A and B are shown apart, each in its own frame.
Chain A
Amino acid sequence: SAVISQKPSRDICQRGTSLTIQCQVDSQVTMMFWYRQQPGQSLTLIATANQGSEATYESGFVIDKFPISRPNLTFSTLTVSNMSPEDSSIYLCSGGTPTDYGYTFGSGTRLTVV
Chain B
Amino acid sequence: DAKTTQPPSMDCAEGRAANLPCNHSTISGNEYVYWYRQIHSQGPQYIIHGLKNNETNEMASLIITEDRKSSTLILPHATLRDTAVYYCIVRVRGGTSYGKLTFGQGTILTVHP
A: which residues have CB within 8 A of B?
1, 4, 6, 31, 33, 35, 42-45, 48, 56, 92, 94, 96-99, 101-108
Residues of A within 8 A of B101 (CB): 33, 45, 94, 103
The total of Cβ contacts below 8 Å across the A-B interface reads 60
- Inter-chain CA distance A97–B87, complex, in Å, is 20
B49 A102 Cβ-Cβ under 8 A = yes
Is B99 in the interface zone, CB < 8 Å from A? yes
B65 at the interface (CB under 8 A from A): no
Interface residue ranges, B against A (CB under 8 Å):
34, 36, 41-47, 49, 85, 87, 92-95, 98-106
Q: State which of B47, B98, B103 has its C-beta within 8 Å of the C-beta of A42.
A: B103
Q: Are A102 and B98 in contact (CB under 8 A)?
A: no
Question: What residues on B are CB-neighbors of A104 within 8 Å?
Answer: 46
Given contacts A92-B44, A107-B43, 17 further A-B contacts (CB under 8 A): A31-B99, A31-B100, A42-B104, A44-B103, A48-B100, A56-B98, A94-B43, A94-B44, A94-B101, A98-B94, A98-B98, A99-B93, A102-B46, A102-B47, A103-B99, A103-B101, A105-B44
- Tell me if A's interface is mostly helix, strand, loop or mixed: strand
Q: Cβ of B99: which chain A residues have Cβ within 8 Å of it?
A: 31, 96-98, 103
> A56 CA to B99 CA in the complex, in Å?
13
CB distance from A4 to the nearest CB of B (A): 8
A9 to B54, CA, bound (A): 37
- Shortest Cβ gap from A102 to chain B (Å): 3
Cβ contact within 8 Å between A42 and B106: yes
Q: Which chain B residue lies CB-closest to A105?
A: B43
Query: B46: which of A4, A43, A103 is its contact (CB, 8 Å)?
Result: A103
